[in-house]
Structure 1
C-alpha cells in the first residue's frame, strides 16, 4: 500500500514538474514578439538587465522572463537612426552596402545594451538580427586553434599566432594566396594582418564589414564594356558582337565613378572605370583594354566593398567635355609624359616593368598629338597615366606591400 502511494505521489510530482516546464516555455513564447517590425532576433541566450547593467530577478512581473532563449524574437523600445559610417560598435548596413543605421544602445562598463521596454535591457552581443537584417559589429574577438604557431602580417604588422589565442578582428576578406583565395579576417589595428578563417574555432556572433584594397562592384547581368565616349569597345564589335566579357556574379575592381555623355541618347550616364591591370577578364577582353580605358555602366553593377566612390563630375561637365581639347587642356597630360625617363629609370620600373604604364604612356602621347582628342579623353588619359606613374615611383618594398593589400576582394 505504501509502495502504491509513493508511486502515485511520484507520478503527480512528475506531472507538476512537466507543467512547470511547460509554463516556462509558454511564458517565453508569450514574451517573444510575433511580428518582424521593431524586433531583434537573438543569436545567443540572453539575460535581462536593468539600466545599470544589473541582472533582474523578475521582469514584467515574472522571474521566467529574465532569461531569453537563443532564436527568440524580442521587441525593442527605441527607433532606428541613420549614422555616419563606422562610428558605432553595432549597426545595420543599408541596401547600398555603404550607408549605415543603428539602434541606439546604452554602454555600461565594456558592454552595450538594447532597451526592450518595461525597464529591461539585453546585451547587444547576444543579438544577431534587427528587423530581419543582420547586425554588424565594428570589432569582434575570435579564438584560434592551430597545432603550430605561424606568422601573419608584413613589416610592423608582423606577429606570431599561437594556439588558443584570442584575437580581435574587424573585417572579413578573400585574401589571394597562391593557388587560391582564402576566406580571412583582418586583425584589428593592422593593414596586412590577415588571419585565415579555417584556424578560427569561435567566430564572431555578428557580421563584420568586408575589406578589399580596391573598390569592387558586383555585376548583375551579362554586360559589355565601353570606352569614354560611351561606345561599346572593339572586342564586342563584329566578329565578336555576341561576346560580353563579364557575366552575372562577377566581382570587378573599379577606381572611379564618372558621368559620360551619350550623344545618340542626348544624356549622361554614370559609369565605373574598370581597373584595367587587375587581371580580370579573358584574353579577348585583356587584349582590348591594355590602355586601362574600359568602363562599366553603373546600372549594370552594385557596390559591394572597398573605398566608396562618388561621381567626379556632373552630367553638365560630361557634356561640355565632348568638345575638342586645346593645347592648354592637354598641358597636365604633357607634364606626365615628360616624366617618362624618370619613371623608366626608377627601381620599381626596372625590376617589375609593368605593362600598364607603357600602355597608358602610349595612349597619352597619341592623344597629345591628335587634333581630334576630346577633353574627356584627355582627362581620362591623365587620370590613368598619373595612377600608373605613382605606382612605378614607389620603392619595390612599397609596391610589394601595395600588391599584398590589394590582393583582397569582398567575401
Structure 2
C-alpha cells in the first residue's frame, strides 16, 4: 500500500513479486463466499497502475490482482491494515483506499492527514457530542465540480497536460472542499481526488544531513554539484522534480523555487503531502 509522499508518481513505481497474477474482469463483481449483505460499492483505479493488489487481514498481498476500473461490492466498515484503511470485497480480501476512485458510485477525496469536519461558519461539526474526525487514509465523497485551474492555482490536478482544480469554499481564510450539506474539510488535508494526485505549485521541505555532514550539496540541471551549499535543518521551497542519470547513479532532484538549481531527494528529511510537477 502506498504512503503519501511528494515524489513524482513515475519515480515511485513499486516492484511486486507475487507468485501469480489473477485478473478480475472489469464489471460489478460479487464477493466470493460472502454471507452478509453488501454495504455498498467501490471502483478501483484511475491511476498509473493497470492492476491493483489485494490484501488479507494480516496485510500480506494475495496472489490476486484486479483490473483498473473494476467495481466491487464491499462488506462492513473500512478496516485499518498496514496503517491504511481498506474495504473488504470478499472473505479475507481487502482493497486499500489508495486504490479506490469511487465510493458508492460517487467521486472521492483521499484524506492525507487527520481532518475535522467544519460547517459553513468554520465551526467543527459534532455528532453525539463528539467532534467528527476523518482519519488519515479514509476516503469520503465530495460535492463540487472540477474545472480548468487558475494560472496561479496552488493546488491542482493534471489531466492530459492541463491543470484542473476542484471547486473550493473559503472560510475564515482557509480553503475547504465540500463533502456534503454544510460539511467541509480543509484542502490542505487532501492529497488525491478520484485517485488522481493533487499537485502543488511548490512545497516546503526540511533538509537532512548529507552523508552525515551538515553541508548539503546543490546541483545543476545535469546533476553536477555547484558552488552553492545549503545547511541541514534549513527549509527550502521546491516546485518541480526531475530524474536524471549521473554516471551509474539515478538521481531524483527537486528544483529550488525561483532558481535553476536542485537538491537531491535523499537529502530531504521531511517529505510533504503533495507532489510537484515533473520537469521534462
TM-score normalised by structure 2 residue count: 0.54
| 1:65 to partner: Cα distance | 5.5
Richer in helix (by share) = 1
Partner of 1:145: 208
User: Does the CA contact (< 8 Å) of 2:119 and 2:125 recur in 1?
Assistant: no
- Residues 169, 57 of structure 1: alpha-carbon distance in 2 compared, 3 angstrom cutoff: same
- Residues 93, 149 of structure 1: alpha-carbon distance in 2 compared, 3 angstrom cutoff: same
Matches for 1:6-405 after TM superposition, within 5 Å: 34-35=103-104, 37-52=106-121, 54-58=122-126, 61-64=127-130, 66-83=132-149, 86-94=151-159, 96=160, 98-108=161-171, 111-146=174-209, 147-152=213-218, 159-190=228-259, 192-212=260-280
- Structure-2 separation of matches of 1:39 and 1:209: 22
User: Does the CA contact (< 8 Å) of 1:136 and 1:206 recur in 2?
Assistant: yes
- Structure-2 separation of matches of 1:169 and 1:80: 26
User: Secondary structure of the residue that 2:236 maps to in structure 1?
Assistant: strand
- Structure-2 separation of matches of 1:185 and 1:100: 20
- Residues 187, 35 of structure 1: alpha-carbon distance in 2 compared, 3 angstrom cutoff: farther
User: Secondary structure of the residue that 1:210 maps to in structure 2?
Assistant: coil
- Structure-1 separation of matches of 2:274 and 2:120: 23
- Structure-2 separation of matches of 1:37 and 1:134: 17
- Structure-2 separation of matches of 1:195 and 1:110: 32
- Structure-2 separation of matches of 1:128 and 1:208: 12
User: Does the CA contact (< 8 Å) of 2:125 and 2:183 recur in 1?
Assistant: no
TM-score normalised by structure 1 residue count: 0.38
Q: Provide the aligned C-alpha RMSD in A.
A: 3.2
| 1:173 to partner: Cα distance | 0.8
- Residues 65, 161 of structure 1: alpha-carbon distance in 2 compared, 3 angstrom cutoff: same
CA displacement, residues 103-145 of structure 1 (integer Å, 9 cap, x when unaligned):
0123456643212223222121211211121111111111211
- Residues 47, 196 of structure 1: alpha-carbon distance in 2 compared, 3 angstrom cutoff: same
Partner of 1:234: none
- Residues 203, 82 of structure 1: alpha-carbon distance in 2 compared, 3 angstrom cutoff: same
- Structure-2 separation of matches of 1:150 and 1:203: 16
Bigger Rg, structure 1 or 2: 1
- Structure-2 separation of matches of 1:116 and 1:70: 16
User: Does the CA contact (< 8 Å) of 2:177 and 2:186 recur in 1?
Assistant: yes
- Residues 172, 107 of structure 1: alpha-carbon distance in 2 compared, 3 angstrom cutoff: farther
User: Does the CA contact (< 8 Å) of 2:216 and 2:267 recur in 1?
Assistant: no
CA displacement, residues 133-169 of structure 1 (integer Å, 9 cap, x when unaligned):
1111111111211132234267xx9753211222211
- Structure-2 separation of matches of 1:207 and 1:36: 27
- Structure-2 separation of matches of 1:99 and 1:172: 18
User: Secondary structure of the residue that 2:152 maps to in structure 1?
Assistant: coil
Q: Which blocks of at least 5 consecutive residues in structure 1 are unaligned?
A: 1-23, 213-411
- Structure-2 separation of matches of 1:201 and 1:160: 16
CA displacement, residues 74-113 of structure 1 (integer Å, 9 cap, x when unaligned):
12121111236x531111111x2x1122101234566432
Higher relative contact order (CA 8 A, sep 6+): 2
Q: Which blocks of at least 5 consecutive residues in structure 2 are unaligned?
A: 1-76, 80-84, 87-96, 221-225
